[in-house]
Amino acid sequence: MLSSYDIEILIGGLANLAAYGYAAFWASNIRRGLTVKLYRNQALGIGLVSIGLAFFTIAFAAKGQFLLRFIGTKFILADDISFGILFFATLPLFYWTDQSLQAARQSDPLERDQFHWSIVRRILWIVISICLIGLVISVTAAGVQNCDCMVGPQNLIIPATLANWGIPLASSAILLPFVWRRSNDITFRRHLKWFALSAILLGLSFVWLGTFGLIIPLNAYLASGGQYILVLLSAYFLYRSARAIVPLYSFKEKIAGKE
């Protein structure tokens, strides 16, 4: 029988799934209304980020002791589906970042290739692909060997995971603020602003959980409840980010049609 805490986890996870699902729904509708491929890809990126975050929050909720397990002694993860979701959760973010930087170039009257992104993006995609392959091999080896120590092929799990998380997070956190500052398009800036607010609140939700769930033990209901509230707000801002795409691209497509 489920405890009251388990019920709270279930309700919170379903609420997060519904909120991010709504953002993905709007992104899908917006994508169908666009004709320019690059802009459709950016709307697709928002939808993929929403879906990825939905599964991410559910997987994280299902593994309440995820951080402790990650740094623990046992590292047998081949059959751990929820941990696998956490491994791949940032790929949609990098896809959206890639498409946003390309969209920023197309919206620039001078079409400046900021940060030489047309070249850098290919390199980063290759690195991510290699890390993903290495990650799958390492996790599989860890499960097959059924060992508790970081020896052999499975010792690539941590560096591969850090690369798969670090590249998307660093790309979006470092490059997009420069794009936001240099862009003169108010709607595009608004789109990035809502996305940034969503990312900040999502980060704060895990800071809240880590602080009041592990470092400073708090009532379990308050710790998880506060996290769910922040995640729901993050989902709302992601929805606003998706809605912000509409006036920008519908306006540009009208101009393109007249030309």
For 14-22, what is the mean pLDDT? 86
Domain count, the chain: 1
pLDDT at residue number 163: 81
**Which comes out higher in pLDDT, residue 87 or 123?**
123
**Which comes out higher in pLDDT, residue 21 or 217?**
21
Q: What is the mean pLDDT of the chain?
A: 75
pLDDT at residue number 201: 92
- Tens of pLDDT, residues 76-110: 443 455 555 666 778 899 999 998 888 888 777 77
What CATH number is associated with residue 85? 1.20.1070
Domain that holds residue 132: 4-258
Q: What is the pTM of this model?
A: 0.77
pLDDT at residue number 106: 78
pLDDT at residue number 71: 40
CA distance 186 to 40: 19
CB 115 within 8 A of CB 190: no
Q: Is the per-residue pLDDT at 240 higher than 80?
A: yes
